Amino acid sequence: MKVLLAYLCQYRDRHDYFLSIMPVGLASIAAYLEKEGHDVTLANFSSAGLRKALRQIVTIKPGVIGLSLFTHNRIDTLTLARELKQALPESIVVLGGPHATFLAEEIIRRYPEIDYIIQGEGEKSFADLLKRIAAGKKPADKIISSKTVDSLDDLPAPGQFSGKLVGVNPSAQFHFIITSRGCPCSCVFCSSPAFWQRSVRYRSPGSIFQEIQYLYKKYGIQYFSIRDDNFTMNKKRVLEFCRQLRESGLYIMWNCQARVDTIDEEMLIAMKQAGLEHIQFGVESGSAKILKRYDKHITIEDIQRAAAITRRVGVYLSIYLMTGMEGETQRDTDATRALIKRILPSDGIVSPVALYPGTALYEQAKKGGLVSDALWFENKNAGVFLRDDGQGKRWMNQLLSELASIKKKSAYREADFAQHREVAGADCWVTDILEGDYYFNRKQHRNAEKCYRRVITKYPQNPWGHLRMDTLKLNSY
């Protein structure tokens, strides 16, 4: 069957790197449907916009169209779904994604043109829907429940998709990989607990390595971003993955997200020796009171311990922060500012507490009569903030200013790199690259060259030393 799977961000967000990139899940569905024998086109119309997307899809004339729906892209995506049904009345229009999952009934009621909504995980459910359509047995119910994939290793990697790509840069798209699904935690601002039912399924270390190796060879991707909710949840799996990667002679660099209570020095050393250069922790707040309100189940001590380990091993430390929680005061913001000064992150992202469908905060607000599902169809805001009194914005600015103020102090220096070699090992090439970058950014090119040449000498097959040397030469004239 001829299938088009597409993503479209709001046109105003087309230059936003993260909002304009296609979700990994849609590419995974494309690879799975292709494996099942379907003629699949995978398209990202973010840079094209709604009108061009409509014209291109009409030209392709797919029998089934699948659109990925998030809260932030709902306006243009729902408009596209409606207009596609008018332009291609014989095509089947299917929606999936978090926003579609949690607001399925309301969407179907307001957009009767949409044929089906697949809730939750999409690979098996979409494949089953196509079989029923092909057999002339279309489901009567427009809302289709998820069919869980028992073993994630059975799925083809998204980057193995070999069908037609429209508006997709493989190097940019497929360097994002996901190695697990779900999270056992219950953070009230996150929709993962409801989407995955607080269960976790893991891909095997071998499966992860094989995907990276494949993408390295096919597309030359040398830097990867692991976008699991918490990559470090299973220590044994992480250590085995790092061992396989390290022993393979495949030299990549990568980053990941983690909870502060799932990391230790042994794991972080193994990760850095396998190419990790940057880790992002969900810190959220420096106030124990606010952490409790978020239902984070972490302590300030956990945060400080994870940050200290990260800096000791020599990985760039990034943190996610939030502000504007119910009951939050200036004192809580001051506690977060003080925490920033203590843990010295390399960078951070600060977000206002928002109400998104599927989150515990949103459900609480609905029960209290503060919001209703109708709001997503009556306004065009990308999200709805828990507090819209101006104070939250002032606190955000305070935290952003604090992050900027410690930028110089947080930077690794010569003494830090010496410690990193003691802790992570003198043969850890990532330390040499990061130290070389430190000197390069300060125009100390001779010192930078020494670091990069150490990598080339020790690991001739490692491309990072050669790449950095090329950059150094270009900037030395």
> Are residues 401 and 419 part of one domain?
no
pLDDT at 170: 97
Structure tokens given for 142: 């427009």
CB 102 within 8 A of CB 121: no
Residue 166 lies in a domain: no
**pLDDT: is 112 or 475 the higher one?**
112
Which helix H or strand E contains 98, and what residues bound it? helix 98-102
Are 300 and 419 in the same domain?
Answer: no
- The whole-angstrom separation of Cα 110 and Cα 153 is 38
Which of 410, 430, 452 finishes a domain? 410
Say yes or no: 306 and 399 in one domain: yes
pLDDT at 372: 94
pLDDT recorded at residue 150: 93
Query: Nearest-5° angle of CA 190, CA 191, CA 195?
Result: 145
**Is the model's pLDDT at 94 over the cut of 80?**
yes
Q: Do 46 and 13 form a contact (C-beta atoms < 8 A)?
A: yes
Mean pLDDT of all residues in 283-298: 98
381 and 424 together in one domain: no
Residue 270 and residue 25: Cα distance in Å, rounded?
A: 28
**CA torsion sign, 160 to 166 to 171 to 174?**
negative
Same-domain pairing of 121 and 187 = no
What pLDDT was estimated at residue 389?
84
d(CA 286, CA 360): 21
CATH at 199:
3.80.30.20
Average pLDDT over residues 290-314: 98
**Percentage of the chain with pLDDT > 90?**
97
| Co-location of 21 and 76 in the same domain | yes
pLDDT at 476 over 90: no
What is the rounded distance in angstroms from the CA atom of residue 228 to the CA atom of residue 191?
14
Residues 308 and 430 in one domain: no
- The Cα–Cα gap between 170 and 220 comes to 10
Structurally, how many domains does the chain consist of? 3
Quote the pLDDT of residue 182. 96
Is residue 263 domain-shared with residue 303, that is, in the same domain?
yes
Tell me: do 316 and 441 sit in the same domain.
no
Rounded Cα distance between 202 and 275, Å, is 21
Cβ contacts of residue 195 below 8 Å, gap of 6+? Answer: 98, 101, 120, 358
With cut-offs at 50, 70 and 90, classify the pLDDT of residue 130. Answer: very high
Banded pLDDT at 382 (limits 50, 70, 90): confident
At which of 121, 144, 167 does a domain end? 144
Does 433 reside within a domain?
yes
Q: Is 48 within the bounds of a domain?
A: yes
Residue 102 token pair: 């949690």
Residue 298 lies in a domain: yes
Q: Looking at the structure, tell me whether residues 392 and 442 fall in a common domain.
A: no
Pair (195, 315) in one structural domain: yes
With 0-12 / 13-18 / 19 or more C-beta atoms within 10 angstroms meaning exposed / middle / buried, residue 225 is middle
CATH number for the domain spanning 24: value is 3.40.50.2300
Statement: residue 477 has pLDDT above 80: no
For all residues of the chain together, what is the average pLDDT?
97
pLDDT tens figures, 56-86? 999 999 999 999 999 999 999 999 999 999 9
Residue 161 belongs to a domain: no
In a domain, 278, yes or no: yes
At 448, give phi and psi (nearest 5°): -60, -40
Q: What percent of the chain has pLDDT over 70?
A: 100
Could you tell me the two tokens for 357?
């469908």
In angstroms, the CA 413 to CA 274 distance is: 22
* DSSP per-residue codes, 22-33: PPHHHHHHHHHH
Would you say residue 344 has pLDDT above 70? yes
CA neighbor of 252 nearest in space, from 215, 209, 222, 276: 222
Within a domain: 158: no
Give 221-276 pLDDT, tens digit per residue: 999 999 999 999 999 999 999 999 999 999 999 999 999 999 999 999 999 999 99
Q: Which domain holds residue 254?
A: 175-410
pLDDT tens profile 140-195: 999 999 999 999 999 999 999 999 999 999 999 999 999 999 999 999 999 999 99
331 and 193, same domain (yes or no): yes
Tokens of 68: 């990925």
